[in-house]
Amino acid sequence: MTGTDSTHSPVPFPGRRDPRTPAHTHASGHAPASGHAPAVRCGIVPPYLLARLATVDDPRFSGAAEAARRSLRVDDPIRSLRSAAPHATALPVPPAAVPGVTRRTISDAQHLQTLPGRVVRTEGQPPAADVAVNEAYTGLGDTHQLFWSRYQRDSIDGRGLPLDATVHYGQSYDNAFWDGERMVFGDGDGEVFNRFTISLSVIAHELTHGVTQYSANLVYQGQSGALNESVSDVFGALVEQYALGQDTAAASWLIGAGLFTDEVQGQALRSMKAPGTAYNDDVLGTDPQPDSMDGYVDTEDDYGGVHLNSGIPNRAFYLVADALGGNAWDAPGQIWYDTLTGPDLTATATFAVFARATETAAVTRYGRGSLEHEAVRTGWDGVGIALDPLRAAS
C-alpha cells in the first residue's frame, strides 16, 4: 500500500488503563464478585494498528481512516469493560445438551451496534446466501471440533455452552471480538481490512478467549494479558491447521491471513513463526512484535503491550512444535491445553510462571527427559526464558 507516511508503527494511547483504576475493577469502580472477572472486549486488531490507520491523511484511504476512528471509539478501553454483571467461569448445562454436539446460532446486527441482532442461521440449517454468516457458522464448528476431538473439551466452558456469533456489526467496523458471551464480527472497511469472518484463525482466536475465561482466566493486562492473547493465537493457529490437515512444516503460522486487502504490503496481523514480520507497509508501518525477551516492550499502552509481547510466547510455542515435528495440535497443543486448564496458573501469571507450568505439564503427561519435555525447555530458551532444572518429586 503506497501512502504518504513511511514511518514505523507507533504504540499510541488506545488500550491504556487509567492508572487510577485498579486492573481488577470495572469502569464503574466496583471490584468484581469473587470468582468472576470483568470481560474485556478482546479485539483481534491491536489498538496501535487502528490508531495508526486513523491518522492516515491520504484520500485513497479516507474510508479506512474514518472506519478506524469509528472502530477505536467502539473499542474505547473504558467503555469496553462491560458494566453488566460479570460472568461466572462455569454455567449450568441445559438438560437437552448432548456432550460433544455443537449448538450454533448466527445473528445479523445489520450494521448496527446492537447485540445480538436478528437470528439468521441456527444449528443444522442449510447455508445462507450471506458468506459471512456461513464463514462464522463453519468457524465456530471447526473450533468446537478441535477442542472436543483432541482435548475432550465440550465447547468453550467445557460444559456444552452454545456458541453464538453476530456478523455485520457496526458500520465498516474494523475488528472482531469476544465480549464474554458471543463472537462479534465487523465487515472491515474494504480498503485496508476485509470482512473479519474471512480468517478461520481469527474466529478460533476469539473463541479461545472464551476458553481462557472459563479456565485460567488470565487478567488482560501486562504479561498475563500477553499470555491471554498468545493462548488465543496458539489455538487459533491449531484450529486452522487441524481443519486444513496441515502439519507443523506445512502450516503458515499466520494469524489473520486474508484480513488485509491487496492494497496492504503484508501477509497477516501476526506471525507466530517469525514475530515482527507479518507486515511491512508504508502506511501501516512495520509489525512491531518482539520475538524474544531481548525486544520486550515495556508500555502502558495496549493494556501493557498485550498484542505486542504476545509474540514472545507465540514463538516459544512454534519452536516447541518445530522441535517435535508432526502435527502441532498433538503434543505441543496438548501441553498448552493442560497448562491452561491445570492447577499451576494464577490469573496474573508471568511468562516465567507460564513457561514453568508448560514444563510441568510436559513432564506430567510425557515424562521427565522425554522429547516433549526437552522441546519445551528448548522452546522457551529460544525466546530468552531459561528454565532451571525441575526438582525431582519427593
Catalytic positions, please? 206, 307
Cβ atoms within 10 Å of 4's Cβ, excluding its own: 12
Cell matching residue 313 = 510466547
Report residue 294: phi and psi, to 5°.
-60, -25
Report residue 388: phi and psi, to 5°.
-65, 155
Note whether 72 and 80 are within 8 A (CB).
no
Give the 3-state DSSP-derived string for the chain, with helices as H, strands as E and coil as C.
Answer: CCCCCCCCCCCCCCCCCCCCCCCCCCCCCCCCCCCCECCECEECCCHHHHHHHHCCCCHHHHHHHHHHHHHHHHCCCCCCECCCCCECCCCCCCCCCCCCCCCEEEEECCCCCCCCCEEEEECCCCCCCCHHHHHHHHHHHHHHHHHHHHHCCCCCCCCCCCEEEEECCCCCCCCEEECCCCEEECCCCCCCECCCCCCHHHHHHHHHHHHHHCCCCCCCCHHHHHHHHHHHHHHHHHHHHHHHCCCCCCCCCEECCCCECCCCCECCCEECCCCCCCEEECCCEECCCCCCHHHCCCCCCHHHHHHHHCHHHHHHHHHHHHHHCCCCCCHHHHHHHHHHHCCCCCCCCCHHHHHHHHHHHHHHHHCCCCHHHHHHHHHHHCCCCCCCCCCCCC
Note whether 224 and 241 are within 8 A (CB).
no
Measure Cα distances from 393 to 335, 363, 368, 376 in Å: 20, 11, 11, 19
351-366 and 311-324 helices cross at what angle (nearest 10)? Answer: 20
Strand partners of residue 245:
none
Identity of residue 312: I
